[in-house]
Structure 1
Amino acid sequence: MRGEGPELFKDTGRTVLGQHPCAGVSPPTILEPVGGAYRIKLDHPVDGLGCATVDYGGTEDGLLLAGAGCEAGRADQRFTLEPATTPAAGYRLRSVPGRSFCIGVYQASRQDGVQLIQTTCDGGPDQVFTLRRS
């Protein structure tokens, strides 16, 4: 699963969505169906309920995702799920405003804490997510 943590590789002080071990991931995430897509809600213990949001409106390559207040109609807070069978079973997440882009792990890293980014879909394993019920 994924969670929040500091932005790596730049000293911005921002908290962004990243790759973290499933055990103890925080905050808990909830998929909410919204008009043919989904919002990824973040149930933060201090900041309250928010939504995963692609930076700067979500229309460019290389953008990070961070939590922000959920707002109806915000395309940069909506994602579609696309079944993936290769290289692994799971789902690719496409951002609604940048339909040609997938959500993936920065530089396909396996390092804990590496941020999630919006990037060109390439079919790689760093763009496949497993959804689990808790």
Structure 2
Amino acid sequence: MAAPQPTEATTAAEFTTALRALRMWSGLTYRQLEGKTAAHQDRLPPSTIATTLGRATLPREHFVDTFTRACGLGDDEVLLWLKTRRDIAIRATDEDDEDEPAPALGAPVRSRAPRWRRAASLLAATFVGVVGTVAVDAVVDRSAPASPSASPVVGLTIRPVGSWARVHPARTPELCLTEGRADHRAGAVAVQGSCADAPLPYAFIEPLGADVVQIQWHHPRHGIRCLAVLLGGPDRDVLEPRHECADDDPAQRFRIEPAGPPGATDVRIRPVATDLCLGPRDRATSAGAEIVQTPCSATSDQVFLIEPTAPP
């Protein structure tokens, strides 16, 4: 299958979407891409790659050059990506110059972008999740689910390049692992919430090894974040979404293991850093309850269902 092309991209958001599609086409994890960039006498840490691909702004030329080569493109293809990026940058500069009125004599120079342009940037970011999924769909064959025997996660139809999914507590399948707030901290945490009322963020399960995955949250405004278990401090044991995704961070790696008879889709999710088990705080069944790590037991509150879904 041919690599995705950037030629249809006319905005920074569309260009970044095309880069995400290229990364999915390559089939490489962030960690593997880092190794490829090192082979080209350079280095892009996984956190840099994830952060850059999660934005709707135009990446630096150096990033585009290094990243596209790491994905396996040759010189001519890399030059096409660089040319497209340059054209978008020039076009954006020209539009800014045309839209900005000349200041009156003696008036301070206005440094902020026009209001319509700031609004357009926000609108473009809102569409990143949808457009990115369409682009990824164009380069990844989703016509048939992967067989469990070929899956990097035993018993689940998770593709080697990752799959969109919903993660449900098995006791309350109407709830999903999603973003929420907790009284004891200002930032976002992972909670169990109504699947119908909380469609965002979209969950993406990326295999990192045999039965080990990274749980990513894709959001049209917040970009790509990765769930990590907190290992210390007052919020110890809760899950938080981090913009700094790192395949080699044990706190962001989760082991998936069967929790039922052979062939069942029930699983336990265990942070690699501690080998404990995830479950709702105080074994709660209500929406809004935090998902935390606790000692593993035979109780049903630590059992989850991972349901592959169509692209959002």
How high is the TM-score relative to the length of structure 2?
0.38
Aligned residues: 126
Cα displacement (A) at 1:40: 0.3
Cα displacement (A) at 1:133: 1.5
* Residue 119 (1) aligns with residue 300 (2): no
Q: Once the two structures are aligned, what percentage of the paired residues are identical?
A: 31
Flag the structure with higher helix content. Answer: 2
RMSD, aligned α-carbons? 1.8
Aligned residue for 1:92, secondary structure, equals strand
* Residue 4 (1) aligns with residue 217 (2): no
User: Structure 1 stretches of 5 or more lacking a match?
Assistant: none
Cα displacement (A) at 1:85: 1.6
Distance between the aligned counterparts of 1:34 and 1:26, measured in 2?
24
Choose from 238, 249, 252 the match for 1:64: 238
How high is the TM-score relative to the length of structure 1?
0.86
Greater RCO structure (CA 8 Å; 6+ sep): 1
Distance between the aligned counterparts of 2:203 and 2:257, measured in 1?
19
Structure 1 counterpart of 2:274, one-letter code:
G
Choose from 213, 230, 237 the match for 1:55: 230
Query: For the Cα contact (< 8 Å) 1:5–1:16, is it kept in 2?
Result: yes
Structure 2 counterpart of 1:54, one-letter code:
V
Distance between the aligned counterparts of 2:295 and 2:199, measured in 1?
26
Structure 2 counterpart of 1:64, one-letter code:
V
Aligned to 1:93: 269
Distance between the aligned counterparts of 1:81 and 1:31, measured in 2?
11
Distance between the aligned counterparts of 2:199 and 2:251, measured in 1?
23
* Residue 20 (1) aligns with residue 174 (2): no
User: Structure 2 stretches of 5 or more lacking a match?
Assistant: 1-175
Structure 2 counterpart of 1:19, one-letter code:
Q
Aligned to 1:33: 207
